[in-house]
Amino acid sequence: MTGLLFMQHGVQKLLGLLATPGRPAMPTPAPFTRLWIAGVLELFGGPLFALGLCTRPVAFLLSGEMAVAYFTVHSKRAFFPIMNGGDVVVLFCFIFLYFVASGAGVYSLDGWWSRRRR
């Protein structure tokens, strides 16, 4: 579920879909800008994480992206995440960081691939 929710942020950034009601859709960012890279990581990393494919490296990249997002965008607004709108960013960061350490588990494509190689 985390991966699918995360992917929706990439859909907003890159495809301009799923816009918040009452707010215009975000224009597509220029290629290779920080916002574009974040959108690509979210759009493609989310489904990879949801499927459990290349989980540890994907989770490492996504956790890093969330840390950068928090410290470059949210922390400038206020100290506490609940006040600066970064609470979801912090949750994503630590969920991904957990999976860097634990791996995806037996019900993932990584787990299936590991069993098949044996």
pLDDT tens, position by position, 87-111:
999 999 999 999 999 999 889 999 9
Contact 55, 99 (CB under 8 A): yes
pLDDT classification of 23: cutoffs 50, 70, 90: confident
Q: What is the pLDDT, as a whole number, of residue 33?
A: 94
Which of 54, 61, 49 minimizes the C-alpha distance to 8?
A: 49
Report d(CA 59, CA 73) in Å as an integer. 21
